[in-house]
Amino acid sequence: MLRRPPQRIELRAQDVAEWEERKKERELEKKSSSPPSVLPAEKSKAARTAEINERIGYNPDVVEQPTNTNFTLPHRL
């Protein structure tokens, strides 16, 4: 089976016919296949973020608060 166009040196009638047949089959598959699902960017981003959070074990609903709430920067003392 040829997966690339036959070179001039390799040309045989059978190879050319096989190549053209496969080419037509690929074109028909492209036309008959359903288009990929198109999701809005926000939905796909949310799904991707949720999957990553689940994988790393992060729960965005539970956010730990710092223990020292009266924290000030050293230059403001």
Type of residue found at 57: G
Write down the pTM of the prediction: 0.33
Render pLDDT for 35-72 as a digit per residue (tens, 0 to 9): 665 556 666 888 888 899 888 988 888 766 666 666 66
**Residue spans per domain, the chain:** 1-58
Residue 41 confidence (pLDDT): 66
pLDDT of 24: 92
pLDDT at 69: 60
Question: Cα separation of 33 and 37, whole Å?
Answer: 12
Q: For 74, which DSSP code?
A: G
